[in-house]
């Protein structure tokens, strides 16, 4: 029964000091490093936006950060510009161990569609290749961690369980943007049979 760890978007722009910082986002780096030895396969996702991406508030004159618009038929939160291809902000956290990462899945590359999930863009028109890779490598259990708990980690976990993987959400290896939002998505994922665990459960 192969187990894969998906490290979601542990990038500089999501860490303290970054353009879209998750509170205490850097605090989970030691936890993620510590659990890597528990897995058969480790894959990291990387937000990788073109400049002037449609999800950026700066791409919509007159709009402010966190406004909501309709983008390509879907409701879209407008974010500060972040994780622009090739920039420091798009790079992985310097303290994150990457030696054991077998593949990096880049997402958010299409100009007018955001991509929260590591599997697909938000309107499910484009696959990142992650689903095919996990199936080809005969992975049955998927464990998610990284940033942010209530956005990209949530959507990745949701797609994982809906595509037939036993899915585990490592609570102390992720941080939310909003604690209230996190509690809502946690209840939703539990109803979908996603299991919430602590990193200490992996070491037993």
Give the residue extent of every domain in the chain.
Answer: 2-50+83-202
- Which residues, including other chains, have CB under 8 Å from residue 181's CB and lie 6 or more apart? 150
38-90 per-position pLDDT tens digit: 999 999 999 999 999 999 999 999 999 999 999 989 999 999 999 999 999 99
Q: Indicate if 9 belongs to the active site.
A: yes
pLDDT mean across residues, the chain? 96
The pLDDT value given to residue 1: 79
pTM of this structure: 0.96
Report whether CATH 3.90.330.10 matches the domain 2-50+83-202. Answer: no
Q: Indicate if 150 belongs to the active site.
A: no
Catalytic residue of the set 107, 158, 175, 186: 107
The pLDDT value given to residue 140: 97
134-153 per-position pLDDT tens digit: 999 999 999 999 999 999 99
Q: Indicate if 83 belongs to the active site.
A: no
Catalytic residue of the set 47, 83, 145, 152: 152
The pLDDT value given to residue 204: 52
């Amino acid at each position: 029964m192969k187990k894969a760890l998906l490290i979601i978007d542990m990038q500089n722009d999501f860490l303290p000091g970054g353009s879209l910082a998750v509170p205490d986002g850097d605090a989970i780096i030691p936890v993620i490093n510590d659990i890597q030895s528990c897995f058969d396969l480790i894959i990291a996702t990387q937000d990788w936006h073109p400049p002037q991406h449609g999800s950026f508030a700066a791409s919509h004159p007159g709009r402010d950060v966190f406004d909501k618009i309709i983008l390509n038929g879907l409701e879209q939160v407008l974010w500060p510009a972040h994780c622009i291809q090739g920039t420091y902000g798009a790079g992985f956290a310097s303290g994150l161990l990457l030696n054991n990462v077998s593949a990096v899945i880049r997402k958010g590359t299409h100009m007018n569609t955001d991509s929260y999930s590591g599997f697909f863009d938000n309107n499910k028109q484009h696959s990142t290749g992650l689903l095919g890779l996990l199936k080809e490598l005969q992975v049955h259990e998927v464990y998610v961690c990284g940033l942010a708990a209530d956005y990209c980690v949530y959507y990745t976990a949701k797609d994982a369980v809906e595509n037939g993987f036993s899915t585990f959400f490592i609570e102390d290896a992720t941080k939310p943007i909003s604690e209230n939002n996190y509690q809502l998505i946690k209840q939703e994922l539990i109803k979908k049979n996603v299991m919430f665990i602590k990193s200490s459960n992996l070491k037993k």
